[in-house]
Chain A
Amino acid sequence: MPKRLLTLAVNGRRHEIAADGHALLVDVLRDALGLTGTKQGCDGGECGACTVLVDGAPRLACLTLAASVEGRAIETIEGLARSGRMSALQQAFHERLGTQCGFCTPGMIMAAEALLRRTPHPDEAEIREALAGNLCRCTGYVKIIESVRAAAEARP
């Protein structure tokens, strides 16, 4: 498969990478850009661990061709903290123990981030629905839901 030059805007920075035309976003992020915060937990579309934002909406990086998101704004877990400070959502996950083993966490936080951007004050059912595509085997979701709620409540 011939390689081509891709220009990706990730966390506000432009990256040029040579990649196969069929390269998946998850592999480009992890292997070419070293952004290993985005995880892979299934063989495609079943676990949500690879959730990133594309133009602010949640996308499964394992089902997304990197070439298809050229020129779009891609955000990963590494982009949420600002000058070394965790975002309010990350801070809420910290305070409410919304992470245990941490493996689902990046995808979970990105899915929650997308929810809070479109629905700043979701109720519990809306949170559960928005996170239903993200599997967590550790928490039973209880403290994840609490974390998202706490972040929402802290919002203006």
Chain B
Amino acid sequence: MTEPTRYGRAQGGARKEDERFLTGRGRYADDLAVPGAAHAAIVRSPHARARTAAIDVAAARAAPGVIGVFTGADLVAAGVKPLPFVPGFVGEDGRPARSPARYPLTPDVARFVGDPVAVVVAETAEAARDAAELVAVDYEPLDAVVDVRRALGPAAVLAEPDFGTNVAAFHAIGDAVRVDEAFASAAHVARIDLVNNRLVPNPIEPRVCVGEYDTASGRYVVRLPTQTAQSTRNSIAASLGVAPERVRVIVGDIGGGFGMKTFIHPEDALVAWLAKACGRPVKWRADRSESFLGDTHGRDQWVQAELALDRAGRFLALRVRLAANMGAYLAFIGPVVPLRAGVRVSTGGYDIPLFRFEGRAVLTNTAPVCAYRGAGRPEAIYAIERLVDVAARELGIDPVELRRRNLVPRSAMPYRNGVGETYDVGDFAAVLDRALAAADWSGFDARRAASRATGRLRGRGLAFYVEWTGGEMTERAVVEVHGDGRVVLLSGTQNMGQGLETSYAGIVAEALGIDPARVEVVQGDTDRVLGSGSVASRSLFVGGSAALAGGKDAIEKGRALAADALEAAPRDIEYAAGRFCIAGTDRAIGLFDLAARQPERRFLGEATVTFTMPSWPNGCHVCEVEIDPETGEVRVDRYSAVDDVGRRLNPAIVAGQVHGGIAQGIGQALLEACRYDADSGQLLTGTFQDYALPRADDLPAFALGAFEDEPASGNPLGTKGVGEVGAVAAPPAVVNAVVDALAEFGVKHLDMPVRAEDVWRIVAGGRAPR
């Protein structure tokens, strides 16, 4: 169904949305002037688990500028409901998955360090913060568990003792018996036991939300940076106990989301409730330290994987057992990430006929864990790509050769993987070859010798990935043609830096044959447009395809109107480059003139598209690291990648997406680790001092190549998701390179982030740890 034209390509690299960002006129939630707004400050639990027996708010209430002080008990008494999470999961006992009820403020027990306990509303943010210090909470500390391995151990402390288990949800896939048989008869079994480190997404814009309540209409307005306006609205309404139509969510510019700004956080509902309770607009803005404490975190999985191979190095079966730390409450789609999203690509790009998966979503006393760029797929690809390298080393087969022997051949497409997912198209071997050429794989020995000569160790690693993108496969678009010469596209997806205003305007402009400068894109206002938002790298192929269909529908609607205006039959009306004309004549009417003649000086096209085939971007990333044996410091020296993300509408935007993902992936591999003290449950990494984001001098330039020979078959643009691929591929590419550099010391595996201290110990001691 791919169309020959490449929609939106004509526009080149520069983006429509840039000018406001470059001149300081972006419209981020914290930039809104909200007349009469009061400010909220949240009292957060300093304990990993504690009963909040008594809360004395008298002193805070009496403090200067304070408008109100509220606790979880106040909210419950007022009828506030817990935040919802997606149904459909079951526990190990087969009963529906359980989470402790999460209210915007916890009324009884604080379940992690940072759990909101009370809120102060005051005239200024400073007054609110000062008064929050005066709220006296009588905490009764309780035993807590933060580490997922400990949480599953014998006699583990229970994060929620009433549940009798820390396992909130369990999911298994595959025929255990046949997989066991394959392992029993395999010539070789490779094993890995690893931790996929917990990360804090940390978009540079912290979360902000502003709630308003209109007494006359009984409606709430919440302004916040969310990737999923409609879902967030529905969840806010559910928590407030009102119909969704009584809540309007408005989104301005978003300073980065990365999956963290999806779905509901407690403050989103809280500001709405406070606005009504206080009779004022109420604004809350997270400090960075609150972002570390209270934003949903990402990753944090313990994965044990085993690969069975035959004598020829062919993969026979894969067994994956994982435990995903979900934190103290199931976030909206928390269990989806490890149990449904990631597992789809557990077998990666390889033909592995037999697969067995057992996944446990585990409650602990930590911040809730949800989506972070890649959401499950980085964890899955990291496991298989590390495992393949382990197998290669154990068998003495070159890691490239082992991959080549097992990659799904192009001739097998469409290919149903061992998990049961169908890849539509792909030429994995060609992508691999191109990536190796781009990386000058064969020139490595000379570079290693050069590093040696300066006393440094050098290693190389590669990772081949396949990623699933799409999520909700339906999206709607409305295309309004206005008499004043504008076209307005309404879309339920969400721009957050990925250039959708530009890409969508290009698509609609090309469909209509007009200048993209005429196209405005409206998103993120639930009174104007609903949709599934921007998650799972779905926006271009689902939302963009809807925009294309909406543009075409506008032509059809216009054709009927033009037939009226020109007194001809619709079938005789032709459309091209902004004009409807009667075929074979010079009688014509312009698109915008036609709109100006309509009752509201406009007409609409609209379309809803639904796809069945997700997109399967794939690629190969190659990394070379250099290690300074004196310090153990690991430096990424070369990084190159070839990605098949289908057709690229705007190559510069695509490259930017890949760059950002790679940087986050290198961050995960070498720098970033969110840590809680195993005993006290205190968050040990609560600032950018303790939690290192990659900085400009930590990274090299990345050399990117694109593979466009296998456009996606499932959407008319031929495009595949690109937003997450870098974060999927980089961690295994980097760690494979580090392990390669340290192979002479007997190192088989190092958990992320690889720390200079560990590397130094290995090199200094001349051997591997453990």
- Chain A residues proximal to chain B, CB less than 8 Å: 30, 34-43, 46-47, 49, 76-78, 80-81, 86, 90, 93-97, 99-106, 109, 124-125, 127-129, 131-145
Contacts and interface: CB of A to CB of B under 8 A. Distances in A.
Given A137-B258, A137-B660, A94 B18 contact: yes
Interface stretch (B103-111, B377-385, B686-694): B686-694
B498 A100 contact: yes
Nearest to A40: B30
A132 B695 CA distance: 5
Given A46-B687, A78-B24, A140-B659, A102 B695 contact: no
B38 to A, nearest CB: 15
Contacts of B22: 77, 86, 90, 93-94, 99, 102, 105, 109
Contacts of A136: 204, 696
B19 A102 contact: no
Nearest to A136: B204
Given A41-B288, A46-B687, A101-B21, 18 more contacts: A37-B24, A37-B25, A39-B255, A43-B287, A43-B289, A78-B23, A94-B15, A94-B19, A100-B660, A101-B496, A102-B17, A102-B497, A105-B26, A129-B697, A135-B688, A140-B659, A141-B699, A142-B656
Nearest to B17: A102
Interface string B22-51: 111110101101000000000000000000
A81 B23 contact: yes
A102 B696 contact: no
Contact of A142 (B17, B203, B659, B693): B659
B656 A49 contact: no
A95 B13 contact: yes
Contact of A103 (B15, B203, B697): B203
A131 B655 CA distance: 21
Contact of B202 (A93, A106, A137, A141): A137
Contacts of A143: 652, 655-656, 659
B611 to A, nearest CB: 26
B708 interface: no
A97 B203 contact: no
Interface in B194-230: 202-206
Query: Would you call the interface of chain A mostly helix, strand, loop, or mixed?
Result: loop
B561 to A, nearest CB: 38
Nearest to B373: A137
A41 B13 contact: no
A47 B24 contact: no
Interface centre among A36, A93, A104, A129 (most CB of B within 10 A): A36
Given A78-B23, A100-B499, A139-B660, A94 B205 contact: no
A58 to B, nearest CB: 14
Nearest to A143: B656
Contacts of B693: 135, 137
Contacts of B726: 140
A46 B690 CA distance: 11
Contacts of B24: 35-38, 76-78, 106
B204 A49 contact: yes
A145 B696 contact: yes
Contacts of A102: 17-18, 20-22, 26, 253, 255, 497
A106 B687 CA distance: 22
A34 B31 CA distance: 9
Contacts of B15: 94, 97
Contacts of B664: 137, 140
B671 to A, nearest CB: 12
Most A CB contacts (10 A, CB to CB) among B30, B653, B655, B696 go to B696
Contacts of B19: 86, 94
Nearest to A148: B696
Contact of B656 (A105, A137, A138): A138
A125 B700 CA distance: 10
9 contacts: A38-B24, A41-B204, A43-B287, A46-B688, A94-B22, A100-B256, A136-B204, A138-B497, A139-B660
A132 B496 contact: no
Given A37-B24, A142-B659, A101 B688 contact: no
B516 to A, nearest CB: 15
B254 interface: yes
A127 to B, nearest CB: 8
Pairs of residues from A and B, 7 with the lowest C-beta to C-beta distance, nearest first: A37-B24, A102-B21, A101-B497, A103-B255, A140-B663, A77-B24, A140-B659
A61 to B, nearest CB: 13
A137 B204 contact: yes
Interface of B: 13-15, 17-26, 28, 30-31, 33, 202-206, 253-256, 258, 287-289, 496-499, 652-653, 655-656, 659-664, 687-689, 693-697, 699, 701-702, 726
B494 to A, nearest CB: 12
Contacts of B702: 140, 142
Given A46-B687, A137-B202, A140-B702, A101 B23 contact: no
A140 B13 CA distance: 17
B660 A99 contact: no
B18 A41 contact: no
A36 B21 CA distance: 11
A133 B698 CA distance: 11
B696 A99 contact: no
Given A37-B23, A78-B23, A94-B22, A135 B701 contact: no
Nearest to A89: B22
Contact of B14 (A78, A95, A127, A131): A95
A145 to B, nearest CB: 7
Contact of A47 (B23, B204, B656, B660): B204
Contacts of B256: 100-101, 103, 137-138
A39 to B, nearest CB: 7
A81 B254 CA distance: 23
A43 B288 contact: yes
A77 B702 CA distance: 29
B484 to A, nearest CB: 22
A152 B24 CA distance: 22
B496 A97 contact: no
Contact of B28 (A94, A103, A125, A145): A103
Nearest to B287: A43
Nearest to B662: A140
Given A102-B497, A103-B255, A138-B660, A144 B696 contact: yes
Nearest to B666: A140
A86 to B, nearest CB: 6
Contacts of B33: 34
Contacts of A38: 24
A44 to B, nearest CB: 9
A101 B696 contact: no
A78 to B, nearest CB: 5
B663 A141 contact: yes
Nearest to A146: B701
Nearest to A133: B695
Contacts of A49: 204
Contacts of A97: 13-15, 652-653, 655-656
Given A37-B24, A103-B256, A132 B659 contact: no
A86 B24 CA distance: 11
Contacts of B655: 97, 142-143
Given A97-B652, A135-B204, A137-B660, A42 B688 contact: yes
A140 B697 contact: no
Nearest to B657: A100
B253 A128 contact: no
B730 to A, nearest CB: 10
Nearest to B653: A97
Contacts of A105: 21-22, 26
A41 B28 CA distance: 12
A101 B18 contact: no
A72 to B, nearest CB: 20
